[in-house]
Amino acid sequence: MSIKSQLLQLLVKIPNTQLPGERKALLMFTGFDNLNTKINSFDKSNIVFFTELIELVFSEGQEQLLVFVRTLADSEFIGLQTKQKLNAIIAEILVLEFQEFNSELIEHKSTQAVSIVRSQNQSEERLEQKQDTKLLVPPILKTQLFEFTLIVLDVQGKEIKCNRGHNYYLGEDLGNRVTLEMVYIPGGEFWMGSPESEGKQYSNERPQHKVTLKPFLIGKYPITQAQWREVATLPEVRQSLKLRPSRNGGKSHPITQISWFEAVEFCDRLSQKTGKHYHLPSEAEWEYACRAGTRTPFHFGETITSDLVNYDGRYSYASERKGIYRETTTPVGSFQVANFFGLFDVHGNVWEWCLDHWHENYNNALNNRDTWQDCSNNQTRVMRGGSWRNDPHLCRSSSRLQKNASEMSNHIGFRIICSLD
């Protein structure tokens, strides 16, 4: 069903919108009283009036449509069920590309994210479009608003856009003044994997396939050494955990030297303590959260620089200048730049364990958030994001690496998810 049709079904049921005066008051409340002179159906039925209103709001553009729907969703005169449905519509609008939104003026494209190779300028335009879009309010108690910096780079690594973004997070108190910040990720669709334009050598990232995900919470940062220490003191579920497995770094550095099994134990202990379902992300959840609506190699755009990411800056990805090689982890969030969901360090610093078994490609891959697992004796798991030891090619949003689940290293960590259903 198109976004227009979904909106119409909800708006015609809003109370106190039958009379011309009530309808004009609705326009004033939402900030669209400028449409008073354009509407010819104030004295018609609700269906006729709201059909005309929706068409006019759509003609104002994607950003104005979001303002209109958000204002309604935040109002007090609609019920909880309508509010949830409006928030779902907001999520659909957010995942539409600029071109796809324009097509909605004529015919809805089912939020299909068409896999098109675009020019550099088009890539920059779609990233900038995402930056100016605020995210929906999550239907979760005790979430807090936070602000972060967003940057877009061109192919030479030059900053072409810098904005402030906003999202919501839920804080989990781990004790001893250590908090785990879990960021709200709205549900949606995306194309998982890399396009041919990123190079033919990445066969394990193909074929690209569309994946649909429900909302979830994910760590704002990779798990830190301080967070690990608090959870490692909790009662054992399946195996013991070292309190200080990392050999380098301090409390704010990402935890390293932990196996996949130990990362799973961390999640199990935290779940047991809180009564929530914490777990490692599936590959699909990880890439969806990393991309945050982008389809470029990095959420920054066409490339990265060592001014913004901790990787081996002696190597270049595109036409950017070479940078520095730090040879170790950096404190999480130290570059103070996030993606469009407000997540930090998804490129570089440490590889991040995922739940999935390793598969050589995406043939027969799942099209949802579920973990792609096979035989129980498969001990090879997936890691994502790249690390301080790697060149930028391995830090792309679609990059994947395999590792035995028992292995550990000074460049492997993890970040966790909390399910909402």
Mind listing the pLDDT tens digit for each residue in 123-132? 444 444 444 4
* Final residue in a domain of this structure, among 104, 136, 154: 104
Q: In this structure, are 272 and 405 located in the same domain?
A: yes
Tokens of 277: 């379902």
Tokens of 377: 């004796």
pLDDT of residue 373: 75
Q: Cite the beta strand spans of 234-307 per DSSP E.
A: 278-279
Measured distance CA(290)–CA(384) in Å, rounded: 10
**pLDDT for residue 214 is more than 50:** yes
- Sorting pLDDT into bands at 50, 70 and 90, what band is 201? confident
**Residue 64 three-state SS:** helix
**pLDDT for residue 25 is more than 50:** yes
Q: In this structure, are 300 and 415 located in the same domain?
A: yes
Q: In this structure, are 148 and 84 located in the same domain?
A: no
Residue 64 or 395, more confident = 395
- Sorting pLDDT into bands at 50, 70 and 90, what band is 77? low
Measured distance CA(358)–CA(282) in Å, rounded: 11
Q: In this structure, are 10 and 76 located in the same domain?
A: yes
Q: Mean pLDDT across the stretch 2-20? A: 85
Percent of the chain residues topping a pLDDT of 70:
88
**pLDDT for residue 63 is more than 50:** yes
Q: In this structure, are 249 and 320 located in the same domain?
A: yes
Residue 270 lies in a domain: yes
Q: In this structure, are 38 and 155 located in the same domain?
A: no
* Final residue in a domain of this structure, among 74, 104, 134: 104
Instruction: Give the DSSP per-residue string, 330-393.
Output: --TTTT----TTS----SSSSEEEEEEEP-SS-TT--SSSS-----TT--EEEEES--TTS-GG
pLDDT of residue 30: 84
Tokens of 401: 């690496």
pLDDT of residue 334: 97
**pLDDT for residue 108 is more than 50:** no
Tokens of 329: 């982890």
pLDDT of residue 328: 98
Range of the domain at 61: 3-104
Residue 269 lies in a domain: yes
Instruction: Give the DSSP per-residue string, 97-138.
Output: -HHHHHHHTTS--TT--------HHHHHHHHHHHHT-PPPPP
Q: In this structure, are 376 and 282 located in the same domain?
A: yes
Are β-strands 417-419 and 216-219 bridged in parallel, bridged antiparallel, or unpaired?
antiparallel
Instruction: Spell out the long-range contacts of 113-117 with Cβ–Cβ below 8 A and sequence spacing 24 or more.
Output: 113/189, 113/190, 113/191, 113/210, 113/295, 115/191, 115/195, 115/208, 117/195, 117/196, 117/197
- Tell me if 372 sits within 8 A of 283, measured CB to CB: yes
- Sorting pLDDT into bands at 50, 70 and 90, what band is 376? low
Measured distance CA(274)–CA(172) in Å, rounded: 9
pLDDT of residue 246: 97
Number of folded domains in the chain? 2
Lowest mean pLDDT among 91-105, 202-216, 346-360, 397-411: 91-105
Q: Mean pLDDT across the stretch 91-116? A: 44
Residue 349 lies in a domain: yes
Q: Mean pLDDT across the stretch 271-285? A: 97
Which residue has tokens 């610093």? 349
Q: In this structure, are 151 and 85 located in the same domain?
A: no
Measured distance CA(122)–CA(111) in Å, rounded: 19
**pLDDT for residue 197 is more than 70:** yes
Per-chain mean pLDDT for the chain: 86
Residue 408 lies in a domain: yes
DSSP assignment letter at 31: T
Radius of gyration of the chain (CA): 23
Q: In this structure, are 274 and 149 located in the same domain?
A: yes
**pLDDT for residue 375 is more than 90:** no
Measured from the Cβ of residue 293, the count of other Cβ atoms closer than 10 Å reads 23
Q: Mean pLDDT across the stretch 142-153? A: 92
Q: Mean pLDDT across the stretch 322-338? A: 97
CATH number assigned to the domain comprising residue 306: 3.90.1580.10
- Tell me if 35 sits within 8 A of 26, measured CB to CB: no
pLDDT of residue 42: 87
pLDDT of residue 75: 77
Residue 112 lies in a domain: no
**pLDDT for residue 215 is more than 50:** yes
Among the ranges 83-87, 208-212, 343-347, 357-361, which has the highest mean pLDDT value? 343-347
pLDDT digits (tens, 9 = 90+) for 161-192: 998 898 999 999 999 999 999 999 999 999 99
**pLDDT for residue 107 is more than 70:** no
Tokens of 293: 């609506």
Listed in sequence order, the DSSP H helices in 36-192 are 46-59, 62-74, 80-95, 98-104, 120-131
Backbone angles phi, psi at 179, to 5 degrees: -120, 145
Q: Mean pLDDT across the stretch 262-290? A: 97
> How many helical (H) and strand (E) elements, i.e. helices and strands, does the chain have?
10, 12
Measured distance CA(167)–CA(134) in Å, rounded: 7
- Tell me if 216 sits within 8 A of 368, measured CB to CB: no
DSSP assignment letter at 320: P
Residue 120 lies in a domain: no
Q: In this structure, are 87 and 160 located in the same domain?
A: no
Q: In this structure, are 84 and 132 located in the same domain?
A: no
Sign of the dihedral defined by the CA atoms of residues 255, 303, 334, 217, in that order: negative
* Burial of 85 from C-beta contacts in 10 A (0-12 / 13-18 / 19+): middle
Residue 38 lies in a domain: yes
Residue 114 lies in a domain: no
**What are the residues whose beta carbons fall under 8 Å from the beta carbon of 409, sequence distance 6 or more?**
256, 257
Please give the angle made by the CA atoms of 219, 208 and 267, to the nearest 5 degrees: 25
**pLDDT for residue 329 is more than 90:** yes
Q: In this structure, are 248 and 355 located in the same domain?
A: yes
Q: Mean pLDDT across the stretch 192-213? A: 88
pTM of the model: 0.70
* Burial of 257 from C-beta contacts in 10 A (0-12 / 13-18 / 19+): middle
